[in-house]
Amino acid sequence: MSYKKASFVALLCLLAVGISFLVIASNWTYRTSLQNVVSPKLYPMGLCTILIVLCVISLFQTWRRKEDHVIPLPNVKRTLSTIGLTVAFLLAWRNIGYFYVFLALYIFLLLFVYQSREQFRKIWWANLIYAGIIVGFVWFLFDYILKIRI
Amino acid sequence: MQYLDLSTLFSLDVLLAIIVGTFVGLFIGALPGLGSQIAIILLLPFTFTMDPLVSILLLLAAYQGAEYGGSISSIVLGIPGTPSAIVTVFDGATLARQGKSGEALGYSLTASLIGGLVGGLALLFLTRPMAKFALNFSDPEFFLIGILGLLAVSALSSKDFVKSMIFAVLGLLVGTIGMDMFTGLARFTFGRPELMSGVNLVPVLVGMFAFTELFKMIDEDMTKKFVVDKKNVRIRLPRTNLGSLLKFSGLGSLIGTGIGIFPGLGGGTSSWFSYVLAKKISKKPETFGKGNPEGIMAPESANNATVGGALMPMPTLGIPGASSIAILLGVFIIHGIQPGPALFTKEPALVSGLLWGFLLTSIAMFVLGLFVTGFFSRMLTLPLYWLVPVLLVLSLLGVYASKGMFFEIWLSFIFGVFCYLVRDLDFSFPAFVLAFVLSPIIEESFRRSLMLSNGSYAIFVQRPYSLAILAIIAIILAIYVYRKLRRNESPKEVIDEQKPA
Amino acid sequence: MKNTKKALLALVLVAVLIIAACGSSDSGGTSGGSSSGGTSSSQTGGSGTSGSSGGTQSGGGSQPAQPATNFPEKPIELIVPFDAGGSMDALGRIMASKISEFLPNNQTLVVVNQPGGGGTVGLTSLVNSKPDGYTLALTPTSPYITETFFGQVQYKHTDFQPIIKLFQTPMYMTVKKEAPWDGFADWFEYAKNNPGKLKVGTIGPSSEGGLAIQDLMLKHNLNINLIPYNGGGPAMTALLGGDIDGAIVTGPSGKSAEDQIKRIFIVAPERSPSMPDVPTMNEHPDVDSGHVHFSGILAPKGVPDDIVKILHDAFRATVDDPEVAQKITEMGVDIVIGDTAEYQRISDETAKSEEALLKQLGLIN
């Protein structure tokens, strides 16, 4: 994707955020029994306005830009797989439980994604051990020592 | 000074506590997402049965250790381990990727030691006078300091000024999320109670720096390792041009101590301010961001000095300068000790043990740091396909460990994906974070100032300190405009802070 | 050769994982909650699995119908809806350190911090957890009652089962030592005669102390500038720095410069046992405004009565213990125990009066 195009998209998204937040903020109602209170809507709405203005300026600047370059996006598949696996892991952990099982699975699958086919076949057992070590370490650090409910 | 009694200090308990605390702090600080606060909370339960001096020193040692530990991760992995270590990534990780991680770590450690010592000395000698001075600062001054901070943000902008400002404004906006403290209005919380106290720094930090960095690693050839040459990985203390570097360290320490005193401003803010200032006084500002040790020494000293600074208002005012210190306050209370000015007279031995012990924690951090760093540096020799999963897991769990809110993991991850997508578009991440941290200070101080003045804006020019800060702001703006006019096509100070390599 | 070794290793690993999985579903008791139950009860609604998946026990269900005579069989979780190191947290941990002596089976109490929303996040989590007596919360009045009227939390105070009322944290009108007022009467006169001159700092927008003063202001037509701060510490700094003329904060827990301040009255109907010389607002013949703010232990509604009694007795005994009592009083917190029925009664009363006051102040409909 080209720098200009990507910038356009990003800026448009931010512009949308600015506008929607402005609308949301303008609809707030509040009550106070204290005196001399500056409205809690002022600051956020002011910021949204500035954001909108800046986005417009930047959009204009991007349009006028002469120089452009391509932003390489290698390995989109890997990135997407990572995101997908992470989301799946989080959902499984949250809704099903069995944290350690899913954790091990998550790590193992990540390794599957990150290594080439031959590499994976060669050292799949090392990967398993590695997953086990991480799980063990996580248990030790977070459950045993930090006593955090997982 | 009646509190020169060192006898309580050199008992086995105390020394052991300092060593264990430092070690734990180093370790926890080095893990992304887990910062000094977690290190302290982790050790908290152990302190209930310990003697109060031992408890406090244990926790302080952990705090110091974590402040340096965060830098290890910044340098070795390019992922800040603590909020105050973000700035260290700019030059530290760059240096590391040039194969000089040992040196970078050396600079960091030395600077941290100096910062810790300066902070400790300030604590020892300046606590009483400082406390009186701090009382003169109130909301109008805090507001103006916040504005000053925003100016520092603009100095950190990337090539594209407008885009950096966009992110700064975005940071300010995200800082408003939560319940308004003056009216109780829930702002931008979308019905989620987890957002009522606002977005926490840890998910933002981990999302913006850890996940983004990890996604970048995924992009690359994952069989590669960062450093193949194991020799350069051992920590190397700086030998040459130590003198000039000390100047930057000193600057950082002073800034760190000063900022630490103000509640609400912590290691993150102090490391930034000192980085910006270091750049201004450096003879080679354009090398900042490319591996200039000056850019490591200043912030590293600052963040360790901040620990000392944050401790200063506590004995006299009973007010913590940072949230981690607030936890220490809790420890005092649980042990039945009342922090406050009476402490000096009621428990002189405790106070002296505390102040001198603090100096010891800096030394401990240095010594232990020498040993521990090598171990962490080895992480660099792991191939990426093994490094990334560990870091992913630790980042996810680190966010969870911070406040126990699962919601924050989602927040952090989604934010991370977003940041990764825009990473090459010249938006400024540092601007966002600093603005985010400053936002509540700016807004609350402003509104409260007006409440105090019955609605009159004159309050900002009537007070001497406000005027002083306003003057500083005016001068900075004047210099900036002047420079811009002189050089028509002024190449703005460019730091490529998003790509340390 | 190599292949069999690998296969063996793999088998060992799978075995380890399976054991870990079984271990994780009852989570070794260190955190007092199972893996699945733990996460779900720390969230609010969301995917709707709150408190139901897996449950919070390893063996045997604890449906309310069962006579749980062997309660507690495993550690009890005490949610502190505030950050570690704060005063609620300290109170919880002080009690946790001694309560094992008073709990049947010598079980332990594990403190879990769930900060956020001024205490509302922790209470939301409590309300969604299983009413089996293994999840409790230590909470002040604010998130439990006051906050429920603004329409921003998902529970009402009636969603909870009060176990025992333990503490009262008195709030005092604190002024500088040189201030011209020595008690409530002169301060009150000054306030009446000097509208708009007084600046008083409070904690948060609708804090307990702040509401009491607003009640006073309403009934007597006073004009006082109330200024919210982020906590007792900043308010005290502002007082000492001269920004404000008075601050309504808690008593001496070391957070104040004792020699520079004095306390002229307590914002409550009765005097505090820890500072009996400080008069209350209500001693003045015209005034009836003081509010009571209390902290206690809550459980979700539906906990069987016998478990409630066991918990009540254990906490009462713990707080009666002289060591515990001393540490607590040194924090400036008053121990004023109210049993289950009393806690329920006072909660209902306070809810009614606060709702009325909030309506009068125009803060809610």
* pLDDT tens digits, B265-293: 677 778 888 888 888 788 777 777 777 88
pLDDT exceeds 80 at position B127: no
pLDDT, tens only, B433-470: 888 888 988 999 999 999 888 888 888 888 888 888 88
Q: Do A58 and B166 touch (CB under 8 A)?
A: yes
Give the residue-averaged pLDDT of B421-432.
83
Q: Do A147 and C30 touch (CB under 8 A)?
A: yes
- CA-nearest residue to A136 within chain C is C20
| Per-residue pLDDT, A53 | 95
pLDDT exceeds 90 at position C88: no
Among A82, C115, A142, which Cα is nearest to B398's?
A: A142
Which residue is listed with tokens 């030790």?
Answer: A140
Residue where a domain stops, chosen among A17, A37, A64: A64
Interface test with A, best of C13, C79, C150, C363 (most A CBs within 10 A): C13
Q: Where is mean pLDDT largest: B136-150, B212-226, B331-345, C49-63?
A: B136-150
The pLDDT-based confidence of C114 (bands split at 50, 70, 90) is: confident
What is chain A's alpha carbon radius of gyration, rounded to the nearest angstrom? 24
Cβ atoms of B276 and B223 closer than 8 Å: no
Cα–Cα distance for residue pair A137/B376, rounded to 1 Å? 15
Q: Which residues of C touch B184 (CB under 8 A)?
A: 150, 205-206
Q: Which two tokens stand for residue B31?
A: 């893990």
Give the residue-averaged pLDDT of B37-66.
79
pLDDT exceeds 50 at position B490: no
| Per-residue pLDDT, C257 | 61
Q: Which domains are delineated in chain C?
A: 76-168+293-360 (3.40.190.150), 172-283 (3.40.190.10)
Give the structural domain span for A123.
Answer: 76-145
A131 domain-assigned: yes
A150 domain-assigned: no
Q: Do C35 and A100 touch (CB under 8 A)?
A: yes
Of residues C312 and B239, more confidence is placed in C312
pLDDT exceeds 90 at position C78: yes
A71 domain-assigned: no
| Per-residue pLDDT, B33 | 67
The pLDDT-based confidence of B148 (bands split at 50, 70, 90) is: confident
List chains adjacent to chain A, taking adjacency as at least 3 C-beta pairs closer than 8 Å: B, C
pLDDT exceeds 90 at position C249: no
Asked if B344 has any chain C CB less than 8 Å from its own CB, the reply is: no
Among B191, B156, B182, B170, which Cα is nearest to B268's?
A: B156
CB-nearest partner of B193 from C44, C94, C199: C44
Q: Do C27 and A144 touch (CB under 8 A)?
A: no
Percentage above 90 pLDDT, chain C: 17
Asked if B20 has any chain A CB less than 8 Å from its own CB, the reply is: no
Q: Do B193 and C196 touch (CB under 8 A)?
A: no
| Per-residue pLDDT, C43 | 31
Residues A141, A93 share a domain: yes
Percentage above 70 pLDDT, chain B: 80
Residues A87, A56 share a domain: no
| Per-residue pLDDT, C22 | 40
A70 domain-assigned: no
Give the residue-averaged pLDDT of B370-398.
77
Least confidently predicted of B3-7, B141-145, B398-402: B3-7
Q: Do C230 and B444 touch (CB under 8 A)?
A: yes
Give the residue-averaged pLDDT of B382-386.
78
Sheet holding C160-168, edge to edge: C109-113, C76-80, C135-140, C294-300, C160-168, C334-338
Would you give per-residue pLDDT tens digits along chain A (150 residues)?
Answer: 788 888 899 999 999 999 999 999 999 988 888 888 889 999 999 999 999 999 999 999 888 888 888 877 778 888 888 999 999 999 998 888 788 888 888 888 888 888 877 777 777 888 888 888 888 888 877 776 665 555
Least confidently predicted of B206-215, B458-467, B490-499, C73-82: B490-499
Q: Which residues of C touch B323 (CB under 8 A)?
A: 83
The pLDDT-based confidence of C38 (bands split at 50, 70, 90) is: very low
Q: Do C24 and A31 touch (CB under 8 A)?
A: no
The total number of residues shown for chain B amounts to 501
Least confidently predicted of B41-50, C21-30, C246-255: C21-30
Percentage above 90 pLDDT, chain B: 6
Cα B26 to Cα A97, B76, B329, B438, distances in angstroms? 32, 14, 22, 27
Cα–Cα distance for residue pair C349/A132, rounded to 1 Å? 56
Among A136, A98, A149, A137, which Cα is nearest to C25's?
A: A98
- CA-nearest residue to B407 within chain C is C43
List chains adjacent to chain B, taking adjacency as at least 3 C-beta pairs closer than 8 Å: A, C
C238–chain A nearest CA distance, Å: 18
Q: Do C253 and B338 touch (CB under 8 A)?
A: yes
Of residues C361 and C40, more confidence is placed in C361
| Per-residue pLDDT, B9 | 62
Q: Do C205 and B327 touch (CB under 8 A)?
A: no
| Per-residue pLDDT, C40 | 31
Helices (H) and strands (E) in chain A, counts: 5, 0
A15–chain C nearest CA distance, Å: 29
Residue B344 buriedness (CB in 10 A; 0-12 / 13-18 / 19+): middle
pLDDT exceeds 80 at position B303: yes
Per DSSP, the three-state class of A37 is coil
Q: Which two tokens stand for residue C90?
A: 């300290």
Total of domains in chain A: 2
| Per-residue pLDDT, C45 | 31
Give the residue-averaged pLDDT of C207-220.
83
Of residues B322 and C142, more confidence is placed in C142
A25 domain-assigned: yes
A54 domain-assigned: yes
Residues A55, A13 share a domain: yes
- CA-nearest residue to C331 within chain B is B333
pLDDT, tens only, C42-66: 333 333 333 333 333 333 344 444 4
Q: Do C214 and A132 touch (CB under 8 A)?
A: no
A69 domain-assigned: no
Residues A60, A89 share a domain: no
Q: How many CB pairs under 8 A join B and C?
A: 156
Residues A141, A81 share a domain: yes
Of residues B355 and C229, more confidence is placed in C229
- Report the complex ipTM: 0.90
Computed over every residue of chain B, the mean pLDDT equals 78
Least confidently predicted of A12-26, A82-96, B87-101, C142-156: B87-101
Give the residue-averaged pLDDT of B304-322.
72
CB-nearest partner of B404 from C113, C154, C240: C113
Least confidently predicted of A114-128, C146-160, C172-186: A114-128
Q: Please, which residues bridge with residue C112 across strands?
A: C79
Interface test with B, best of C169, C208, C237, C240 (most B CBs within 10 A): C237
Residue where a domain stops, chosen among A14, A39, A64: A64
Among B13, B14, B20, which Cα is nearest to B39's?
A: B20
The pLDDT-based confidence of C261 (bands split at 50, 70, 90) is: confident
Please report the sign of the dihedral spanned by the C-alpha atoms of residue C150, residue C153, residue C158, residue C163: negative
CB-nearest partner of B182 from A28, A40, A74: A40
Q: Where is mean pLDDT largest: B238-252, C113-127, C300-314?
A: C300-314
Residue B450 buriedness (CB in 10 A; 0-12 / 13-18 / 19+): buried
Among B155, B220, B256, B193, which Cα is nearest to B483's?
A: B155
| Per-residue pLDDT, B132 | 67
Of residues C237 and C89, more confidence is placed in C89
